[in-house]
Amino acid sequence: MDEDQLGDLKQFIAATVSQATANMATKEDIAGLATKEDLQKLSTKIDDLDLKVDTISETLNEQHNEHEARLTKLEQQTA
């Protein structure tokens, strides 16, 4: 094998390894992933928000029903 062939072979191997490893995750990629603890905290926050939204929805529904009852009484008084 002469120097030109050896150089071509090295270049081919380098290109093949580069292509094969192009889609692999780096240490930086892995470090940026969320941990189970992060996901648990997020889940807890979502549950808290869901509870708050339910509470607000129930309150608004009760207020709506009260206003509806008042409107019905007013309509009956004016009729």
* Confidence check: pLDDT of 1 > 80: no
The pLDDT value recorded for residue 71 is 94
Q: What is the mean pLDDT of residues 61-75?
A: 94
Domains of the chain, residue spans: 34-79
Summarised one tens digit per residue, pLDDT across range 5-64 is 888 899 999 999 988 888 787 888 888 888 889 999 999 999 999 999 999 999 999 999
Residue 75's identity, in one-letter code, is E
* Confidence check: pLDDT of 72 > 90: yes
The pLDDT value recorded for residue 66 is 95
